[in-house]
Amino acid sequence: MGHAVRQAEPHIDGSFLLLNGENVFAGSVVPAVSAATKAGVDGVLAVEEVSTAEAATTGVLALDGDRVTGLVEKSDDPPSTLVMTGCYLLPADVFHACALVQPSAEGEYQLNEAVGLLVRAGYEIETIHLGERVNVNTPADVEQAARLVRE
């Protein structure tokens, strides 16, 4: 997703909201935007809890309170069970961070790595829980997302 984000750079001159198109949230993303307006906050990541078993198979966040201190990929001993949910409020400097990211073995430029670079550079990135969501990949997911929106 890092490459896709870089394509937006000519059109963005400040912080911006990024939503993965396949995610449907039960509620509003306004709380994420509001959290990013707090003094000293450079960005916000919407997160959710997963099982310890699932946390060991994906990227999780290392935290100090609500502040992100690192991103850890596929660890046998993950520092948390919090994963990103595809809703980001990011500073424009993420474009430079994306440019620094090397492609993965699959040839993809990972946005998570760019966010990790910002964190290591001292950017204050906070987390927020937006509630239930559906990652829409199948017809059954479409039905579940429709129910979620109606409720």
Residue 104 has pLDDT above 90, yes or no: no
Integer Cα distance of 137 and 142 in angstroms:
8
The token pair at 100 is: 């620094």
Residue 10 has pLDDT above 90, yes or no: yes
**What's CA 150's distance to the chain center, in Å?**
25
Model confidence pLDDT, tens digit, residues 70-89: 988 888 899 999 999 989 99
Domains, the chain: 2-150 (3.90.550.10)
